[in-house]
Structure 1
Amino acid sequence: MQSKLKFVGLVVIVLFLFKTASAQQKVIDSIQQLLNKEKSDTQRINLILQLANIHRFSNTDTSNMLAASALLQSKKINFKKGEGFALHTLGIIQEFQGNYDSALHLYQQALQIFEKAKLKKGNASALLSIGGYYYYQSDFIKGADYMLQSLRIYEAIKDKEGQGAALNNLGSLYMDKKDYPNALQYFKKALAIKQLLNQGRNLASTMNNIGNVFYDTKKMDSALFWYQQSLANAQQFENKRGIASASSNIGNIYFDKEQYTAAVTQYEVALQIDRDRNDQEGIAVNLINIAHASVKLKQFDKSIPLLKEGLAMVREIDYKFHEQNALKYLAEAYAGKGDNTNAYNYLLQYINVHDSVYTQESNQRVAEMQTLYETEKKDKEILVLNKEKEVQRKTNIFLIVLATLILLLGLILWNRYRFKQKTNRLLAEKNSELQKLNATKDKLFAIVAHDLKNPLSAFRSITQNLSDNKLQISKEEIDFFIGRLNQSANQLYDLLQNLLNWAISQIGKLPFVPEKISLADLANDNTRLFENNLLQKKQQVTVNIPETLFVWADKSMIKTVVRNLLSNAVKFTPEGGQIELCAGEENGEAVFTIADSGIGIEPADLNKLFKVEEDVTNVGQSSEKGTGLGLILCKELIEKNKGRIRAESTAGQGSRFIFALPLADN
Structure 2
Amino acid sequence: MKQLILYAICLSAAISFAQNAKIDSLTVRLAYQNQDSTKVETSLLLINELYKIEDYNKVLLFIAQTSELSKSLNYNRGLAETTFIKALINNKQENEVEAVSNFETARTYYTSVSDTLGIAKVNNNLGVIEIQRGNYKKGLQNSLSAISIFEEKGLKSELSKAYNNLADAYYNTGFVDKALQYNKKALSVREELDDLEGMMYSLKNLGKLYAKKDDYRRSIDSYERMLMLLDKEDDKSIRGEILPSLGKSYLAIEDLDKAADYLREGLKYSRNQKDELGVLKSLNAIGELSIKNKRLKLAEGQLLEALKLARKLDNEEELLYNLKLNRDLDSTRGFYEDAFNWQNQYYSLKEKLDKEKEASAKIPESTIEEISETPTEIIIPQKLEKVEDTLTASPEKSKQDLLLMYGLIAALVFVTALLIFSYLKSSKEAKSNKAFAKENKKLALKNAQLEEVNQVKDKLFSIVSHDLKDSISSIKAFLDLLKDGGISKEEFNELIPELSENANNASSLLFNLLNWSKSQMQNLQPKPELFNIQEIFQIKISLIEKKVNDKGIILIDESRREFVYADRSMLEIVIQNLITNAVKFTGKGDVITVSNQDYNGKVLICVEDTGIGISEENQKKLFNAKKNFTTIGTENEKGTGLGLTICKDLVELNNGRIWVESTPNIGSKFFIELPKAPLSE
Q: TM-score range by the shorter chain?
A: 0.3 to 0.5
TM-score, L = length of structure 1: 0.35
